[in-house]
């Protein structure tokens, strides 16, 4: 009888041990590397575990200078060398605490929008002045913009706009007739000459619903569903596409993906997000930067456990990853908005841009606490660099104190780094070179995960 009474206690202690073993372990260290903060994450493997970690870093606008990640059975290990937006180590204790708590919890949903917010998803052919027309419709429908994200790529546009009824703490837009009216008018704006469009409105029933899908990830998903990577690139695009190669390694059952391009914030997120949404799992990988160049390598399998199986699939992975990198790459002039939130502010700003012959290539706007902040990348109507006089005229009309000008970083692209020596671009097996490289990769990952002495 005594043994029977102790058995539930033993089970409870065992469950506590299992829970402790599976809880992610997060370490931040500023002493390992002279130039970056080391973040180590050990956690039980689950779908999307790498994307979760990378998304936390991306949301904080941290730059990943080096990274190593490896999955061994049911366990996943990550190492990131990161800096803040100024290229410095992380010294703000609130940021460090947030990273630790968020990665341990395994979720970082942040949403402070009130009930009654409607999320509008818009996709269609891009054209000058489109954002201005969309915002004019929303103003006419007495909708306040809470948050807006818009990207353009390959002549297509995708946008997420969060709106609520003007001046009301809770929205009567639960009325399906009003939602249908908004959708109908926006479809008319998007549909020109019978082009393919997408317009959907959904009611966000609170913070949890709002945060269900990360905004940037949802934009990637919309473009992926829209097959923007299949459209012919404009001959006017100045920057060469990123270098992406895919080789298969049948002996080990992996496909090796290499991405080389100019480094920028959130590059790792964009690549990992796309691989995840294409139903690939990253088992091993390494990230390295050299000056303004980034080199990323991933060893992946499809969710069914198979590597990439055909030349057509390989080419699609290459095109989708090139598109994922390019969507966030903006060649336009960067305009930063900071002003008191007032009726018609965004409509007037975008109208001024349109009337001065400027087109919005990418935008991100947030209105909270009585203030509106946003970033707009603008070009001329043909996608070429914007005329300085036109930009200044638009600024003067909006108010130069509210709309400031900042040139984006533009760096020349040096010759791509030499690729890994494989037996061929699409050879069975991958040869001894593949085995040697992966063995070196895993040893380096384990070394960095346990006994890191430098980040060189």
Query: Do 82 and 172 fall into the same domain?
Result: no
Q: Which of 13-22, 113-122, 267-276 is predicted least confidently?
A: 13-22
Q: What angle do CA 276, 278, 284 make, to 5 degrees?
A: 45
Query: Do 192 and 339 fall into the same domain?
Result: yes
422 domain-assigned: no
How would residue 312 be classed by pLDDT, with cut points 50, 70 and 90?
A: very high
Domain that holds residue 393: 117-206+332-406
429 domain-assigned: no
Query: Do 323 and 293 fall into the same domain?
Result: yes
Q: How far apart are the C-alpha atoms of 135 and 4, rounded to whole Å?
A: 69
Query: Do 247 and 382 fall into the same domain?
Result: no
24 domain-assigned: no
Query: Do 302 and 262 fall into the same domain?
Result: yes
425 domain-assigned: no
Residue 192 has pLDDT above 80, yes or no: no
Which tokens belong to 236? 């006017």
Query: Do 225 and 325 fall into the same domain?
Result: yes
Q: How far apart are the C-alpha atoms of 214 and 52, rounded to whole Å?
A: 10
Q: How far apart are the C-alpha atoms of 45 and 50, rounded to whole Å?
A: 9
Query: Do 347 and 290 fall into the same domain?
Result: no
Q: How far apart are the C-alpha atoms of 135 and 140, rounded to whole Å?
A: 9
Number of domains in the chain: 2
Query: Do 103 and 126 fall into the same domain?
Result: no
Q: How far apart are the C-alpha atoms of 64 and 270, rounded to whole Å?
A: 13
Q: How far apart are the C-alpha atoms of 142 and 131, rounded to whole Å?
A: 17
**37-44: strand order across its sheet:** 25-29, 37-44, 75-83, 63-72, 280-290, 293-302, 254-262, 243-249
Q: What is the pLDDT of residue 279?
A: 96
Which has the higher per-residue pLDDT, 147 or 117?
147
Alpha helices, DSSP H only, in 128-262? 130-140, 176-190, 207-210, 215-226
Residue 302 has pLDDT above 90, yes or no: yes
Q: What is the pLDDT of residue 114?
A: 52
363 bridge partner residues: 150, 376
* Residue 95 CA to its chain's centroid (Å): 20
Number of helical (H) and strand (E) elements in the chain, helices listed first: 12, 16
206: Cβ contacts below 8 Å, ≥ 6 apart: 115
75 domain-assigned: yes
Buried b or exposed e, range 124-156, using 16+ CB within 10 angstroms: bbbebbbbbbbbbbbbebebbbbbbbbbbbbeb
Surface-to-core class of residue 449, CB atoms within 10 Å of its CB (0-12 exposed, 13-18 middle, 19+ buried): middle
7 domain-assigned: no
Nearest Cα residue to 292 out of 2, 65, 43: 65
Q: What is the pLDDT of residue 269?
A: 97
Q: How far apart are the C-alpha atoms of 412 and 343, rounded to whole Å?
A: 42
The pLDDT mean for the chain works out to: 80
Query: Do 309 and 341 fall into the same domain?
Result: no
Q: What is the pLDDT of residue 343?
A: 86
Query: Do 322 and 219 fall into the same domain?
Result: yes
pLDDT in tens, 393-434: 999 988 878 898 875 554 433 344 444 333 344 444 343 344
Instruction: State the CATH number of the domain containing residue 382.
Output: 3.30.70.260
Query: Do 284 and 368 fall into the same domain?
Result: no
Q: What is the DSSP letter of 30?
A: S
430 domain-assigned: no
pLDDT in tens, 198-251: 666 555 543 344 445 789 999 999 999 988 888 765 444 456 789 999 998 777
Query: Do 100 and 219 fall into the same domain?
Result: yes
Buried b or exposed e, range 361-387, using 16+ CB within 10 angstroms: bbbbbbbeeeebebebbbbbeebeebe
433 domain-assigned: no
């Amino acid at each position: 009888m005594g043994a029977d009474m102790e058995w539930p206690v033993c089970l409870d202690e065992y469950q506590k041990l299992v829970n402790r073993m599976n809880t992610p372990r997060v370490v931040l260290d500023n002493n390992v590397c002279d130039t970056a903060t080391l973040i180590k994450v050990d956690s039980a493997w689950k779908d999307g575990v790498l994307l979760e970690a990378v998304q936390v870093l991306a949301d904080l606008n941290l730059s990943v200078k080096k990274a190593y990640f490896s999955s061994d059975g049911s366990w996943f290990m990550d190492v990131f060398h990161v800096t803040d937006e100024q290229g410095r180590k992380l010294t703000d204790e609130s940021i460090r605490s947030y990273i630790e708590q968020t990665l341990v919890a395994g979720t970082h949903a942040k949403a402070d929008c009130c009930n009654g917010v409607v999320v509008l998803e818009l996709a269609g052919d891009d054209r000058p002045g489109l954002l201005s027309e969309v915002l004019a419709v929303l103003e006419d429908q007495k909708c306040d913009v809470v948050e807006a994200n818009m990207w353009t790529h390959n002549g297509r546009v995708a946008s997420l706009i969060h709106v609520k009824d003007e001046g009301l703490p809770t929205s009567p837009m639960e009325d399906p007739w009003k939602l249908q009216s908004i959708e109908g008018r926006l479809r008319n704006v998007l549909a020109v000459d019978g082009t393919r469009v997408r317009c959907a409105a959904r009611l966000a029933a609170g913070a949890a619903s709002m945060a269900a899908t990360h905004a940037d990830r949802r934009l990637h998903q919309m473009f992926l569903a829209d097959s923007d990577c299949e459209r012919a690139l404009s001959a006017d695009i100045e920057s060469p596409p990123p270098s992406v190669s895919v080789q298969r390694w049948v002996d080990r059952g992996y496909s090796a993906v290499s991405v080389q391009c100019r480094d920028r914030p959130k590059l790792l997120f964009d690549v990992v997000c796309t691989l995840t949404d294409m139903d690939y799992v990253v088992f091993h990988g390494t990230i390295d930067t050299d000056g303004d160049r980034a080199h990323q390598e991933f060893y992946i399998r499809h969710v069914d456990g198979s590597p990439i199986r055909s030349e057509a699939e390989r080419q699609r992975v290459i095109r989708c990853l090139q598109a994922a990198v390019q969507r966030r790459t903006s060649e336009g002039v960067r305009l930063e908005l900071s002003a008191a939130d007032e009726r018609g502010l965004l409509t007037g700003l975008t109208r001024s841009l349109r009337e001065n012959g400027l087109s919005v290539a990418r935008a991100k706007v947030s209105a909270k606490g009585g203030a509106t902040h946003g970033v707009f990348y603008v070009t001329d109507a043909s996608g070429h660099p914007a005329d300085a006089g036109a930009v200044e005229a638009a600024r003067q009309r909006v108010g130069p104190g509210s709309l400031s000008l900042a040139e984006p970083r533009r760096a020349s692209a040096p010759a791509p780094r030499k690729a890994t020596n494989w037996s061929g671009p699409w050879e069975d097996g991958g040869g001894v070179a593949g085995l040697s490289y992966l063995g070196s990769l895993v040893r380096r990952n384990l070394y960095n995960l346990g006994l890191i002495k430098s980040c060189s």
